[in-house]
Each structure stands twice: as C-alpha cells, then as structure tokens.
Amino acid sequence: MNLENPKKFSMLVNQAHEVALNFFRPISRKYDKAEHAYPKELDMLASLLDGFNDGAADAPNSTSLGKRGASNDDSNKNGTNMSAALGVFELCYGDTGFLLAMPRQGLGNSAIGAVANDEQLARFKGKWAAMAITEPGCGSDSAAIRTTAIKDGDDYILNGEKIFVTCGERADCVVVWATLDKHLGRAAIKSFVVEQGTPGMTIARLEHKLGIKSSDTAAINFTDCRVPAANLLGNPEIDVQKGFAGVMETFDNTRPLVAAMAVGCARASLERIKELLKEHLDPDYATPPLNASHIAASIYRMEAEWEAARLLTLKACWMADNKKPNSKEASIAKAKAGRIGSEITLKCVELAASVGYGEDELLEKWARDSKILDIFEGTQQIQQLIIARRILGKSSSELK
C-alpha cells in the first residue's frame, strides 16, 4: 500500500498550498471580522479553477467537489475524489471559510455530481450550487424532512423552510431535499435544483456564526415555489425497496471532503504550534513520549491522530474513485477527522496560552472554524450510528 500522494497531483497540491499561504491567509482576518461580506478576491481564483476543471474528468488539476469517480474497470484509479481531497487539504490550511465561499465549488455541486443524469450534468455545468437539507424540526435525521414537493403537470411545487444553507444567498442555485409523499418515509425524499430568484423562494435571513464567517449561511423559505420536473435529480420514481439510498449517495461524496477540510485546518494549527514551541520539541523524535515534556507529548499525540485522520480520508476518496461502496469509510473519515480536528485546534490554542487566544495569531480563528466540521454533513453521533449499522448489518429501524 503506497501512502504517498499520487505524483500526478503534485502540481495541484503545490498550487493549492501557495494559494493557502499567499492568497487566503493575508485576507483571512479581514473577512472574519466583516461577516457576510463577500470575498471578491475569490472571483479571480474561481475563474482559474474553472479553467482547470474544463479539462478531462480526471485531470490532475481538477479540484471541483463531488465529480463522478473513475470508470469501472479493474485498474487502480486516483481520480477526481482524490484530487479534490488533496486540494481541500491545502486550501483549508489557509482558510476553511474561503473554500466554502468559493464560487462553483459548493456542496450542492457534490449532490449534482453524485445523482444527476447526463443531461442534468451538462445543463448545470458551471452553476454554483448550495445544498439545503436541514430544517427547524429536522437536524441530524435527514429522513425527517418535511419540505414537500407536489407534482403539478410538468412542475413540482415546493413548500417548506430550510436553515443553515451554506452559501444559500450567493449561489446560483440550491439543491433542495424534499419529500414527494410524507407517508412513504425515506423512500419519497428527492433532491431538486432550484434556481436563485425562482418565484416563491425567499432568503429569510443570514446567520451570525462562531466561525467560517466569510461563508454566508442562510435560512430559505419556499412558498408555492414552482420547479421544473426536469430539475429533480436522479430517478423521479419512488423506489420503496431502495429507500433512502439514492439520496444518501450524496453524503458518500461530501463527507470525505468535509473530513479533508478538518485535516487541512488541523494541520495549520499543528504546524503553527510547533513553530511557537520549537524549543520544547525534539526535531528528530528521538525522545520517547513517556520521557518527553507534557507539551511535546501532547503534540506527538496530536500528530499521530492527525495522520490517522488524513489516511482514513484518502481511503474513502480512493474507494469512491474506484467505484467501491464507501458509505462506512466516508462516515469513519468524517467522524475521526471532525473530532480530532476540533480537538487539535482547541488544544493548540491552550498550549499557546495568551498568544493563542489573541487575534494577533490565527490559532483562535482556526479553532472556531474547525468546530463546524464536526457538525455539518452529519454530527459525530450520527456518524458513529451509521458506522455501527454498517458493521452490524442493521437497518436504521433496527438500530436508532
């Protein structure tokens, strides 16, 4: 098993690292203080990424989130899921909020890439798509969605409220999860692409948040919102046998990417704390942890946890590229990276004491930003529940 980054992605990794250091970090504090202000500097970078992504589906420079994996053959593939994760590692080393605010790189694009048909992939190409799942009475349990979609001729009429929609105001369109029939439960939940400005779709408010302040988070109301039937992603038929699986395929793409965000942000904190406390560390790792100082032992433990999260994330992405079922591995990566990412960034603030708590350093910002990565796309508890179901072979009704 080769644990090194694929050589064909070296240019992507190097370029993303330079962007993180020289483009993101210098303006990071500016937009952290100016919540809801759009970082216009991202437009130029987004245009460059568009140029990269116009190449082949598995082009080495592709950083688009959630594109379909490699072709189904017997050869080993390192494709767009792997390249996206490597790019996310580096960009979140600079600023997680900026990655989430990047035009045309939204989590809604992952949903489109996961379940859209070929015609939809072509029609929505180049669109910036947000993703609307959470509702006031429906958080971690996505199957409890109450937003309705009623068929009316060649359209569906949507009614409901969505909250915590990342880039919900700025994106070109929103992928909205709604149920075709509340009585049929999970199987009736489908996702719809709703263009920004569609009558009946209203931005209710923008949320004030602990972190990722450069990324807008919106609440959106849908009142008799008419959406073309062609905008329903995937199969419009309700398949009770398949149930919720078709919609949940989206998470198999996005959860490893959220894990990659946590890995990148945690790496930034780890490297900075090692710079600040370098006189307490053995650069050659020759001192056993039991004989090291508390500071050194804490950093060594965090490095080991970080490396585990990184490798679990890469495994989930590799499986997606090679068309292997990765639902369990995606949740394992998200659970591990989300938890240790938050632990590492907060511990680094603690170890740096007053230096880490002040705004002269980005350590406190990274600690605030990383917390959301353990919450959205499924909380820590939900990921552990999914993992348990997969390992034990239990359904959601058997293990709650």
Name the residues annotated as catalytic: 377
Is residue 334 within 8 A of residue 309, CB to CB? The reply is: no
C-alpha 132 chain-centroid distance: 13
Local structure of 361: helix, strand or coil: coil
SS3 201: strand
**Exposed, middle or buried, 21 (CB in 10 Å: 0-12/13-18/19+)?**
middle
Could you tell me the CA-to-CA distances from 101 to 83, 84, 105, 125 in Å, in that order? Answer: 19, 16, 8, 18
Query: Which CA distances in Å does 251 have to 97, 240, 259, 334?
Result: 20, 20, 12, 10
What is the SS3 assignment for 179? strand
DSSP, collapsed to helix, strand or coil, labels residue 368 as: helix
In angstroms and rounded to an integer, the radius of gyration of the C-alpha atoms of the chain is 21
The beta strand positions in 213-350, using DSSP E, are 217-228
Rounded alpha-carbon distances, angstroms, from residue 398 to 74, 143, 252, 378: 35, 15, 22, 19
Sign of CA dihedral 236, 240, 241, 246: positive
Residue closest to 196 by CA, chosen among 103, 113, 115, 110: 103
Task: Please give the Cα distance from 282 to 263 (Å, whole number).
Answer: 23
Structure tokens at 391: 């390992």
Give the angle 98-205-219 at the CA atoms, nearest 5°: 75
SS3 151: strand
Q: Please, what's the b/e burial string for 69-84 (b: 16 or more CB within 10 A of its CB; e: otherwise)?
A: bbeeeeeebbbbbbbb
